[in-house]
Homo-oligomer: A and B are copies of this chain.
Amino acid sequence: MGRRIGRLATPPTLADVAERAGVSRQTVSNAVNNPDLLRSDTLARVLAAIDELGYSPNRAARNLRTRASHLIGMRINPAQEGTANATMDRFVHSLVETSREAGYHVLLFAGDHDDPISGYDDLLRSTTVDAFVITDTYLGNPQAAWLEQRRAPFVAFGRPWDNQAAEHAWVDVDGAAGTDLATSHLIERGHHRIAWIGWRKDSVIGEDRRSGWTRAMHARGLATTGLASRVEDTVASGREASAVLLDEAHPTAFVCASDTLAMGVLHTLRDRGMEAGREIAVVGFDDSQVAQVVPPGLTSVRQPLEQVAIEIVKALEGILAHPPVIGPGVMLTPTLALRGSS
């Protein structure tokens, strides 16, 4: 049990274990990587030596020889203050957990804010990471195009919206299904005039989410005209947009493209002395911590981020296999977290 190690001494190497177990280096290596090749008594002896010495293969040496780092790179973007965006936190955690089971670690890096490519190149050329996970595909993801052209292994969280010809692996969540779910839920609760507050028209994700609302409304023969607003993703924008919509279109419920916008609606309701979930129903998107703790609780579309991480790691394993296997894109379906606001 006492797996002590000499303090400040260099850690034991393969050769140390080999000597102790009375076998060659290669045999120790096999004991670690291909146990089937050893006779069971030899294996036991080697494993005992490994345990006694507290041996763990030197990563650098292994990486050098096998030309792999077992590291997955992920660029993180500056946390946006003043919004309710909480996707990253949960996703990063799921990814770390899932990759661990697959024998990978996650390496975080940052890049210049204005250059979506920066950072990737160095990590690739120095063979620091085996592959990337890219997440911010909302910008017409230039990284995906660049990485693909560079033939770098990667998986995208987000489909290749603007590039039907894209051949890379991706995993995404069906946003339209989420807003459809949200809208249908409100309709079942008896709402007919349901407004939409989403992002500007140049956001493909925003338009996708909007289509779920339209689809659900039209499926029940409900009108959508005059009930939609497209703004920036800020609380202030959501507040203004909801105020205007309330005055001009008299909706009884709001479906929003984000929790941030939904919080804007709550602000407006508060301004007017109205109560969310009583007079007016509100549904957000992302199931952020904000949605979870704000009174009276914000109903919100929840992305299955744990599942996304699992699918992404699965795809990564395929890509890094010999020969590489690039499966088709994976589309997951969100759920609706019901709370007091509806």
Q: Which residues of A contact B (CB under 8 A)?
A: 3, 5, 7-8, 10-11, 54-61, 63-64, 67, 69, 71, 76, 78-79, 81-86, 88-90, 92-93, 96-97, 100, 105-110, 121-122, 125-128, 150-151, 235, 260, 263, 266-267, 270, 288-290, 292-296
Contact = CB atoms under 8 A, between A and B. Distances in A.
B290 A293 contact: yes
A107 B106 contact: yes
B105 A128 contact: yes
A276 to B, nearest CB: 10
Nearest to A269: B295
Given A96-B76, A100-B110, A54 B293 contact: no
Contact of A125 (B5, B88, B105, B121): B5
A342 to B, nearest CB: 16
B127 A108 contact: no
Contacts of A96: 76, 108-110
Q: How many copies does the complex hold?
A: 2
B293 A82 contact: yes
Contacts of A107: 71, 105-108
Nearest to A293: B263
A94 B81 CA distance: 13
A58 B64 contact: yes
7 contacts: A5-B150, A83-B293, A86-B289, A88-B89, A96-B109, A107-B107, A263-B294
Given A76-B96, A92-B92, 20 more contacts: A5-B150, A7-B151, A59-B63, A60-B61, A63-B63, A76-B92, A76-B93, A81-B292, A82-B292, A83-B293, A84-B290, A86-B89, A86-B289, A96-B108, A100-B110, A105-B107, A106-B109, A107-B107, A263-B295, A288-B289
Contacts of A97: 110
A63 to B, nearest CB: 4
Q: What 10 pairs between A and B have smallest CB-CB spacing?
A: A56-B125, A60-B63, A60-B64, A56-B126, A263-B293, A270-B295, A267-B295, A59-B128, A59-B126, A106-B108
B290 A289 contact: yes
A120 to B, nearest CB: 12
Contacts of A79: 89-90, 93
Contacts of A59: 63, 69, 126-128
A108 B72 CA distance: 10
A150 B288 CA distance: 39
A233 B235 CA distance: 27
A300 B58 CA distance: 46
A165 B297 CA distance: 46
B90 A11 contact: no
